[in-house]
Structure 1
Amino acid sequence: MELEIIKPSYDLPAENDNLSFAGMKQPFLELPNVLNNNLNITSNLNLTSSNQVQNLPTLKNTTPFITANSEDITLSILKEKCVIPVFTKDNEITISHSDFIETSISAIKKMFPNETFDEPEIRVSHQIKGRVPEAIHKNVKDLQENEKTQYFERMGFIVRIPSITEDINGNKLALTIGGVRSYNLENLYNKKTYEKFKFFIGFQNMVCCNLCINTDGFQSEIRAMSFLDLEEKIMQVIQSYQANEHLNSMKNLLEYSLTERDFAQIIGKSRLYNYLPRKEKSLLPELLLNDGHLSTIAKDYYQDESFCRNSDGNINMWEFYNLLTGSNKSSYLDTFLDRGVNAFGFATGVSKALSDSSTSYSWFLS
């Protein structure tokens, strides 16, 4: 399905607490190609691409990429049923969730002109409800649907590229881009300024729908003033991504394994980590997973259908990494991507500690 960058239009302006919203129609915005149109990241990758596979079917996910406190939503609902917050002091419009998604799609189509794309999978949370001015004095039970307004404070999305895949230990990985937008990180009570976005390019494990993200494919804060500015910075992230190095690092996890004792030691030390004195904690690698995540990892060590321990209690580091990313699905949208990157760093760090006790990660095994 071809997606055009078309700004949503709303007939009814609305208010919600101290925030005001845009009700104006926006013209069609065509984003120029600011980077090399012919750049194709697959040219240096040993991956399945659309150049070798014809009529490749869309990869179907069985579970969401994130579950905690979020719900599924379509792009059309975001565009047609959600109002857009503005900066209250100058009434300047924000870049909406749908704008972010469509700008990202525009960027990847320019960076991957010969590939196929799945429709975006979108999750939202923290619904903010409102009503049109004409219904301001009505009781809630008397409100008609056309008198209600809403937007979602937080939104995350992914777009898979099913024509670019790789296999690791029998798990099909599809190249995937995505991002997170959180209005709670913006000062909407002030004048318009740079808006903040998180964006990544990495892989999705289609066995479990876990996202595999590395630091060079992730930008924790893109600051943009316009659609053009946002698209250019997204394309820069894609251009800097070293996909082969990321894949090789994930494949290297297969060379290391944890015994049941090692696994128990890591879980125990990880629980202690969050309660260490600040000085001691500062000397260790950062671990963003909390006790809830660690409980899920411990449970899935025994129960996960794809990545649980084997018959002698051992688990390889690729499986351990997927237990980490699986537990991350219970994170809130605004912390989800940061924890996903941290999970990969933790898994690779522990792998090195298994053969080199001098690394800082060896504390988790000692």
Structure 2
Amino acid sequence: MELLAVRNTPVMEIIEDSKIENTSKTRFIEANTVNVSLSHLKEECIIPVFAKDNETTISHYEFVNTVQDALHEILGHNAHLKLDIRVSHVIKGRIPSAIGKPAKELLEHEKTIYYERMAFVFEIPEIYEVINGNRINLCVGGVRAYNQENLFSKKSIEKFKVFVGYQNTVCTNLCIATDGLKADLRVSSTMELKQKVYELFNSYDRQSHVNTMKSMLNHKISEEEFAHLVGKMKMYNYQSKEAKKQLFPITITETQINSIVKDYHTDIDFMKADDGTINFWNLYNLFTEANKSTYIDVNFERNANAYEFIQYLTNFKANEVSNWYLD
């Protein structure tokens, strides 16, 4: 894939979302996350190590900075990048001199922290498309979850998740296609990590992704079909193993399904039409909005699953073929 060059200013500008107040509508993920800055990760967080040999892991800061460097080389110095970092599951500690001190008496310099899970997104506003009046900007992001590493062993290959896709500026919903996600990227150095990011860029078909999302506008379902879909999604997890093999796998939770139903009636941007119908683009955004409640460590996979599922339903509707989820 050839990313578009942007010819505006000779300086790459990094705008961090941690410097502005985030409401729930402007977060790409919610769950139990908080917003932090890149400088916070660099200067105020310790770096976990592999316990048996005391070798350092690739830190959250190094991960974000490596992807930033890759974008710098791909886009040149003239792109404006909007960075949003979300973290969860803080791991607290203290310096040796504070051993035995009551927690409530600890001074700030005596505390240590790092975050078990971290997700980030670089939004690239200059490279965008418009779908049904919604501007979607190209974005690149990643996830690191230390709970998926064996930190009690010797240093080994480390796991990361990286994606390239789009972000809907109306609601900051991420739009991740299957070929834009590497959910099990394993590397041993930042150099190797950067190379894997390049490979992802090259394999991602941006135009095909956009065309698929635009095609979602061409088909819709009735209120009755929507109700049927909701019921079948709730039934999915209770099917037998053999029955599930014949069905499209979905990873959405029942709580998120309830959120989709609520937003079908109330979401000002993507709710049903007056006659109760809803096109698949709006339905897709109801899914990605609900997915914001997914924890960091599986968020991107569920987002990609939502894309695949809506694409699957769209294809059946376009070909006027019966489908278990809709009939």
How many angstroms apart in 1 are the aligned matches of 2:158 and 2:47? 14
1:80-113 superposed Cα distances (whole Å, 9 cap, x missing partner): 1110100000110000001000000111111222
* TM-score between the two structures when normalised by the length of structure 2: 0.93
Residue of structure 2 aligned with 1:200, choices 144, 150, 163? 163
8 Å CA contact 2:10–2:78 kept in 1: the answer is: no
Q: Secondary structure at the match of 1:364?
A: coil
* Deviation digits for residues 199-249 of structure 1 (CA, Å, limit 9, x no counterpart): 000000000100000011110111010010111011110111100000000
Aligned residue in 1 for 2:101: 138
What SS does the corresponding residue of 1:121 show, helix, strand or coil? strand
Would the aligned equivalents of 1:321 and 1:347 in 2 still touch at CA under 8 Å?
yes
SS at match of 2:174: strand
With over 3 angstroms needed to count, the CA separation of the structure-2 counterparts of 1:213 and 1:339, relative to structure 1, is: same
Structure 2 residue 112 is the aligned partner of structure 1 residue 156: no
CA distances 1:48-70 after superposition (whole Å, capped 9, x unpaired): x6348999x98988611001111
- 1:13-32 matches, within 5 Å, as none
* 1:234-274 Cα distance to aligned partner (Å, 9 max, x none): 11101111000000000000000011011111111000001
- Please state if 1:166 is matched with 2:158: no
> 1:196, 1:222 within 8 Å by CA — same for their partners in 2?
yes
Q: Which residue of 2 aligns with 1:257?
A: 220
Q: AA paired with 1:41?
A: L
**Counterpart selection for 2:6 from 50, 55, 80:** 50
Shift in Å, 1:118 = 2.2
Equivalent in 143, 147, 152 of residue 110 of structure 2: 147
1:225-264 equivalences under 5 Å are: 225-264=188-227
In structure 2, the CA distance between the partners of 1:114 and 1:132, relative to structure 1 (3 Å rule), is closer
Check the 8 A contact 1:59/1:162 in 2, yes or no. no
The CA deviation at 1:352 is 1.3
SS of equivalent to 1:201:
strand
- Which of 280, 296, 299 is residue 259 of structure 2 equivalent to? 296
Structure 1 gap segments, 5+ residues each? 1-38, 43-48
Q: Distance in 1 between matches of 2:245 and 2:37?
A: 42
- Match for residue 364 of structure 1? 325
Q: RMSD of aligned C-alpha atoms?
A: 2.1
Name structure 2 gaps, 5 residues minimum.
Answer: none
Q: 1:354 offset after TM fit, Å?
A: 1.4
SS of the counterpart of 1:365? coil
Question: For structure 1, which segment, 326-335 or 276-285, has the greater mean C-alpha deviation from structure 2 after superposition?
Answer: 276-285
Q: How far apart, in 2, do the equivalents of 1:78 and 1:53 lie?
A: 28
**Structure-2 residue corresponding to 1:287:** 250
Alignment correspondent of 1:322: 285
Distance 1:85 1:119 in 2: 27
Question: In the TM superposition, what are the counterparts of 1:68-147 in structure 2 within 5 Å?
Answer: 68-113=31-76, 115-147=78-110
Q: Deviations over 1:272-297 (max 9, x none)?
A: 00111111012211101010110000
User: Is the contact between residue 27 and residue 172 of structure 2 (CA under 8 Å) also seen in structure 1?
Assistant: yes
Q: 2:123, 2:149 → 1: CA distance?
A: 28
- Number of aligned residue pairs: give it: 320
Cα distance in 2 between the residues matched to 1:161 and 1:118:
5
Picking from 26, 30, 35, the partner of 1:63 is: 26
Give the counterpart letter for 1:364 in structure 2. Y
Name the structure with the higher helix share.
2
Is 1:340 the counterpart of 2:324? The answer is no
